[in-house]
Amino acid sequence: MNLAASALSPRRHLGLFTAALLALGATACDGGDKAQPEPPRPGQGRSNAVVAPSNALPAQTAAGAPGAPGTPGATAAKPPRAPGTLCTGQTTRPAPASPIATAAAPGEAALPAAIGFGVGKWVWVNFWAAWCKPCKEEMPRLLGWQQKLRSAGVLIDLAFISLDEDERQLNRFLQEQPGHGVRASYWLPEGPDRTSWLTGLGLKNPPDLPVHALVNPAGQVTCVIHGAVEDSDYPAVSAYLGAR
């Protein structure tokens, strides 16, 4: 018997086994399985929503940066809404009447101390936050819809309500907005006022953002929309609001 060959035999077997594992790994990385499609970017998919934080700002570290799963700012795509089902099967309830704080960019007129519910016009309430990317992406859309709806004979106001925890972050966002953007907003930091508002709308606290509530001219919440609205939603919205 060749003792040298016998001594090397285990090493040879180990080398062959290792090479086989490496070959399998290479097959998987090089396309042995079909490439997975790239997930939709925030704002491009159907009704993106993010979870509002209950307290501190989102972490800025690599492990917990905004946009990472499980942190404020992460998006979660919701399934598409079927056509014509935007505001169907909902319960009517009185709009909240509890006090609400306001914030505005320097030089911008302060908002009224109370939102004008039940004064003969629709009010579109939008809950948002400065760290919520889908919220910020849909703001120009909402402002444009307001103008289109008014031109179509719908008396409607927009009431943006921030759920930011850090007032500095909120103010910074408002200051950076262009003249035609959102430069003033209502504000509900964590506390009893926020709880009262969200409970009154039947929402969890903290809610998934963005979320919308449509209040009819009599001051009744008749529709709550979870997730971002998209251009394709406008026909259903205009029909629901009675646009000409």
**pLDDT tens digits, 126-184:** 999 999 999 999 999 999 999 999 999 999 999 999 999 999 999 999 999 999 999 99
The pLDDT of residue 91: 82
CB 238 within 8 A of CB 87: no
Domain ranges of the chain: 49-240
Residue 69 main-chain phi, psi, to 5 deg: -55, 135
| Cα distance between residue 152 and residue 1, in whole Å | 98
CATH class of 49-240: alpha beta
| Cα distance between residue 184 and residue 109, in whole Å | 8
Each residue's pLDDT tens digit, 181-224: 999 999 999 999 999 999 988 899 999 999 999 999 999 999 99
Average pLDDT, rounded, for the chain: 77
